[in-house]
Homo-oligomer: A and B are copies of this chain.
């Protein structure tokens, strides 16, 4: 494999000195880009796009050709794993993801198995390899998965939900059923991420999009404990190179100490948590990723620059910060705003890395 030209992102994840703060954006390959919409139209459907390694490679690289981003992230869907388990993923137009066979009765839950990523998810691994080749070492490639609990939300609800009534009824009334699903999911997610690492992912991220909707007690028992199982089973090296991991729990700001304790390398933060306070609370034991409010990108260039400056100052001096949004970029975002954001991070952040550079 070609050596990395820009390894700033990986060094920041390991809290090693960097000349500036690296930046990438959750959902950076997506609908706010006209060229993405063109590829999506060519594919015919979102799933056809996600299942074609060539087209997934094309859209993964699109934002890198526009903006000086410091990482690429595999273009895929978080629901590939339950789809590979046989639940029948489909996208109803304007309604988001749905499953043909939601998982609700004890019989179906008993039969649930972790898929073999080399078979049912081979198209994802092929995409990872093809993207690595296409990147040619420009920036590192991030692999990802939904967390065991977040996947379970979609699997039990059969799609998105406002109140998570179905899965929470199971959680409170029949916790053993949900634990069985989560055990299978934890195994499946670990296998899936390890297969992505073997195919070429240089860092991996776990998206716990819905864990923050649980009560504080239920979060630990039904989400964090299973994310911890995944983390403990992940390959930490591949071909002698460290593979760092990131755990992002939207709405998880109250639980940072517990999240840091599962042994992850980096915690993703939404915009409700101060990076400076998070750094103190986690005692500098993990890197932090985030956390600009995605709605900032609808403001004036001046306002975007000033919010970028605020986020950088909030983290403060030293390495261990990866600049990102606090959640996925909105499909309505003007691309020029992203250019302003990336430029501001690269212009303003070297001032926060002078001490560490001098110390080398």
Give me the interface of A with B, judged by CB distance under 8 Å: 163-165, 168-169, 172-173, 212-219, 251, 253-254, 271-274, 277, 291, 293-296, 298-300, 303-304, 307, 310, 326, 330, 332
Contacts and interface: CB of A to CB of B under 8 A. Distances in A.
A84 to B, nearest CB: 29
Most B C-beta atoms less than 10 A away, residue of A213, A272, A332: A272
A307 B214 contact: no
A172 B216 contact: no
Contacts of A296: 168, 172
Given A214-B272, A253-B254, A254-B254, A295 B173 contact: no
A163 B272 contact: no
Nearest to A296: B172
26 contacts: A163-B294, A163-B295, A163-B330, A165-B298, A165-B330, A168-B293, A168-B295, A168-B296, A169-B295, A169-B298, A172-B293, A172-B295, A172-B296, A172-B298, A172-B303, A173-B298, A173-B303, A213-B272, A214-B272, A215-B271, A215-B326, A217-B274, A253-B254, A254-B254, A254-B272, A254-B273
Given A168-B298, A253-B254, A293 B332 contact: no
Contacts of A303: 172-173
A257 to B, nearest CB: 11
Contacts of A332: 165
Contacts of A172: 293, 295-296, 298-300, 303-304, 307
Kindly report how many copies of this chain are found in the complex they form together. 2
Most B C-beta atoms less than 10 A away, residue of A164, A165, A307: A165
Nearest to A303: B172
A272 to B, nearest CB: 6
Contacts of A217: 274, 310
Contact of A273 (B165, B216, B295, B304): B216
A86 to B, nearest CB: 27
Nearest to A302: B173
Contacts of A215: 271-272, 291, 293, 326
Contacts of A307: 172
A272 B216 contact: yes
Contacts of A293: 168, 172, 214-215, 218
A276 to B, nearest CB: 10
A274 B168 contact: no
A252 B215 CA distance: 14
Contacts of A165: 295, 298, 330, 332
A196 to B, nearest CB: 30
Nearest to A314: B217
A173 B273 CA distance: 22
A172 B311 CA distance: 14
Given A169-B298, A212-B272, A218-B293, 4 more contacts: A172-B295, A214-B293, A215-B271, A253-B254
